[in-house]
Amino acid sequence: MNSTGTERLLNVVDVEATCWPGSPPPGSVSEIIEIGLTVVDLDAAERTARHRILVRPARSRVSPFCTELTGLTQQEVDQGVSFAEACRLLAARHTAGARPWASWGDYDRNQFERQCRAGGTPYPFGRRHTNAKAVFTAAHGLRKRPGMAQALQIAGLPLEGRHHRGEDDAWNIAALVLHLAGRDGWPTD
């Protein structure tokens, strides 16, 4: 616990979205199909919970390219919840509006903002977002921002699970957050 007697919890979020080797097919847009979320207790320096929300796309389908990249199939995501319901779950079960959150880069934040705006869905997160990729780059004095897998190598950490799977990527990004916090390289506010 910190000096105020409260835990410093952080949601680490990673999304997977429908994707194609080139432009989307006519009428299709990139949509979130999986939300991975790992809760990090910064005071205890540990990952305390791991979650996965499958999201059913409304305006696109999972392409063979997307399945190859993520392992997710159309049949699997068809069992998911709507995007609006996923946002409600983030707010209700994961305190997304009040708890600070982080992602690897700004893609995840931008994708949520875009998709919420397009569907008239309330944005589930608060304003305290940290771009973990930028923090890692600065803390390690790098000139170029590394991908998550490369950052794990730089930090001497293993890649756990499948890369480009939201639940596994959030878990791995959380390990990088803890690596940075252990070096006093994670923002404290």
Encode pLDDT of 46-71 as tens digits.
999 999 999 999 999 999 999 999 99
187 is a domain residue = no
Alpha-carbon span 14 to 36, nearest angstrom: 5
User: What average pLDDT score do residues 21-45 get?
Assistant: 96
How sure is the predictor about 4, in pLDDT bands with cuts at 50, 70 and 90?
A: very low
Query: Three-state SS across 131-144?
Result: EHHHHHHHHCCCCC
20 to each of 77, 115, 116, 189, how far by Cα in Å?
A: 16, 18, 21, 38
93 is a domain residue = yes
Q: What is the CA radius of gyration of the chain?
A: 16
Cβ atoms of 115 and 87 closer than 8 Å: no
What pLDDT, on a 0 to 100 scale, did the predictor assign at position 7?
67
189 is a domain residue = no
How sure is the predictor about 5, in pLDDT bands with cuts at 50, 70 and 90?
A: very low
What total of structural domains would you count in the chain?
1
The overall average pLDDT reported for the chain is 95
Alpha-carbon span 116 to 37, nearest angstrom: 18
- Phi and psi for 17 in degrees, rounded to 5? -135, 160
Tokens 């569907």 sit on residue: 119
Which residues, other chains included, contact 19 with Cβ-Cβ below 8 Å and sequence gap of 6+? 30, 63, 65, 66, 69
Please return the burial class of 117, using the count of CB atoms within 10 Å of its CB with bins 0-12, 13-18 and 19+.
exposed
188 is a domain residue = no
What is the DSSP-derived secondary structure letter of residue 145? P
In this model, does residue 19 exceed pLDDT 80?
yes
Cβ atoms of 95 and 73 closer than 8 Å: no
Cβ atoms of 131 and 102 closer than 8 Å: yes
Encode pLDDT of 108-133 as tens digits.
999 999 999 999 999 999 999 999 99
Q: Which domain holds residue 102?
A: 9-182
Cβ atoms of 102 and 173 closer than 8 Å: yes
Amino acid symbol at 146: P
Cβ atoms of 172 and 148 closer than 8 Å: yes
Residue 9 host element (H or E): strand 9-17
2 is a domain residue = no
50 is a domain residue = yes
Report the CATH number at residue 110: 3.30.420.10
In this model, does residue 105 exceed pLDDT 70?
yes
3 is a domain residue = no
